[in-house]
Amino acid sequence: MSSSSFIRPEGTDGKAILGSDKNTQFNKLEKNALNDLDSAKLNDLAECLFVLNNKRYGPIPGAYMVMCTKPGKEWCVGQLNADRAKPFILFDDKIFFSPEEAQKEAERIKKDKGETEPPRRCT
């Protein structure tokens, strides 16, 4: 994601202000997950993720998650993302039938990518 593809409020060039990717594409899981969520709360979440990601846009290294996509039946692995429009990325090829299986896969991805340190804000 290049910074030129993000929508920023006018007069904020060079400032670390959370925008949104103009080219955001949602897969089916993400559309369903974001469908009925409160946009103000999603915005608050995105701002927190932006700070956690050291005021940078995009996926947060090491911040993998498990989301229930069908209550009691299906879980998906995802990654937290500092973006107002899409605060998480769900991997539609990482679907499991138990939360434990999904958690193991999230941990495997993190280990394979060498992202063993938890995400944290640098000061």
pLDDT tens string 27-80: 999 999 988 889 889 889 988 998 888 888 889 999 999 999 999 999 999 999
Percent above pLDDT 70 for the chain: 76
> Residue 2 has what pLDDT?
45
Average pLDDT, the chain: 83
pLDDT of residue 121: 62
At 110 the three-state DSSP class reads helix
Q: What tokens appear for 3 in the block? A: 């910074």
Instruction: Tokens 């995400």: give the residue.
Output: 119
Cβ atoms 57, 19 nearer than 8 A: yes
CA pair distance 11, 73, nearest whole angstrom = 47
Domain ranges within the chain, ordered by starting residue? 26-112
Burial class (CB in 10 A: 0-12, 13-18, 19+), 69: buried
* Residue-level pLDDT at 12: 47
- If pLDDT is split at 50, 70 and 90, which confidence band does 90 have? very high
Distance in angstroms (rounded) separating the CA atoms of residues 92 and 28: 8
Q: Most confidently modeled of 28-37, 43-52, 97-106, 108-117?
A: 97-106
